[in-house]
Amino acid sequence: DIQMTQSPSTLSASVGDRVTITCRASQGISNYLAWYQQKPGKAPRLLIYATSTLQSGVPSRFRGGGSGTDFTLTISSLQPEDVATYYCQEYNSALGTFGPGTTVDIK
Amino acid sequence: EVQLVQSGAAVKKPGESLKISCKGSGYSFTTFYIGWVRQMPGKGLEWMGVIYPGGSDIRYSPSFQGQVTISAVKSISTAYLQWSSLRASDTAMYYCARLPGRDGRVLWADFWGQGTLVTVSS
């Protein structure tokens, strides 16, 4: 089974800061990685798929990168509406695995 | 507009059965997977399984195999998640999601239902 880890588990930053979340897979997953945003009390929302492709309607301040086992989600300028938990998910295996999540809030 | 609309919240007693639903609209229901995700209170997301309504492909996570049944009725564009005997530990929010598939691989979840809260308590 593929295990996914994320760091940090929580992150506090100021509005306008550049924020980076790291996701690591226990084995190589090529570029089969997606990122989701979940705001409190809401369903998750797809942000990025295929490591770096922005889903339609997602602001361009979100950027995904990486390959193999190490991936990143970067928010170039943190906004108040970005307060949420962010999950990575691999879909290299038969039924993909989510990372444990990173909670982002405003300092 | 793609929409996945889930059935309402359910309150059940341990040992009771339950079937929750997820109705798709705005797209071809038989050409995408539908997946089910569990989120226990204050916890992360867990894939339970997926179904391809246009064929016979059903996949379960090892953690949920034998614990739940996933099905779909394509004539009414609806997928289901059911339990035959609920436990208190099944208390959670359950989401359905649409997933594209390609060459036997289930891809990302691009649209999500609003969630169904299941509470199991005596």
The answer, yes or no, to whether residue A95 has pLDDT greater than 90, is no
Chain B interface, mutation test: which of A51, A56, A58, A91, most B Cβ atoms within 10 Å?
Answer: A91
Compute the C-alpha angle B57/B97/A6, nearest 5°: 105
- Confidence (pLDDT) at A70: 98
Contact A34 B108 (CB under 8 A): yes
Mean pLDDT of A27-53: 97
Contact A36 B47 (CB under 8 A): no
Which tens digits make up the pLDDT trace of B109-122?
999 999 999 999 99
Which tens digits make up the pLDDT trace of B78-87?
999 999 999 9
Chain A interface, mutation test: which of B57, B108, B111, B117, most A Cβ atoms within 10 Å?
Answer: B108
Question: Rounded to an integer, what distance in angstroms lies between the CA atom of residue B69 and that of residue B60?
Answer: 9
Contact B45 A98 (CB under 8 A): yes
